[in-house]
Amino acid sequence: MLFVMQNQSTGINVKGYWPSVVASGAMLLATDALSIERTLGTYMLSACNVSKSQLAQFAYLQGSADLLLNFAKAYDAYAGELLNKHMFDTSLADNVTELRTMILSQDFVEICNNLTSLQRTSLTLKWGVDIQLYILTIDELRGRFIIPSILQVNSFVLALGYYC
């Protein structure tokens, strides 16, 4: 009987909660890309010496993170609601977008080299703080809302199997 209950548990997760599982995975991969983007962006802002391959890598990471978050939003309605409310169209998202746009602009190196050391340090710190808050917000949405909604089903079904 316990084997049957475990089989039902798997069925519930796959059928009913699969969108949340997929969205959670996409959000995790997005934070991985954002972490690398954070490091590369920090280097680019502090060094003001950017190669075409670094720009390409930065744009690739940005695109990957954005695509993964939009995929999570489209694949799971609950994740989409959370991302819309807490990530997209927020001042934090606007700040990150503004800094990304500046880094990817054609005249970035010239603008960066015209900054004082203090201005460059301030901008680098702003980038690091904003992108880190962006990453942490995604992690918190996964940890506080998405993952518990998946695990709640396992706990319920396993408890049901225990009493049978």
Q: What is the dihedral of CA 15, 19, 25, 31, to 10 degrees?
A: -170
Query: What pLDDT is recorded for position 153?
Result: 57
Report the candidate in 70, 71, 126 with the shortest Cα–Cα distance to residue 98: 126
Query: How many Å apart are CA 142 and CA 124, to the nearest integer?
Result: 27
Give the residues of the chain that fall short of pLDDT 50. 1-13, 154-158, 160-164
Query: What pLDDT is recorded for position 17?
Result: 84
Please count the CA atoms within 13 angstroms of the CA of 73 that sit on its side-chain side.
17
Query: What pLDDT is recorded for position 105?
Result: 95
Query: What pLDDT is recorded for position 150?
Result: 83
Decide: residue 5, CB within 10 A, 0-12 exposed, 13-18 middle, 19+ buried. Answer: middle
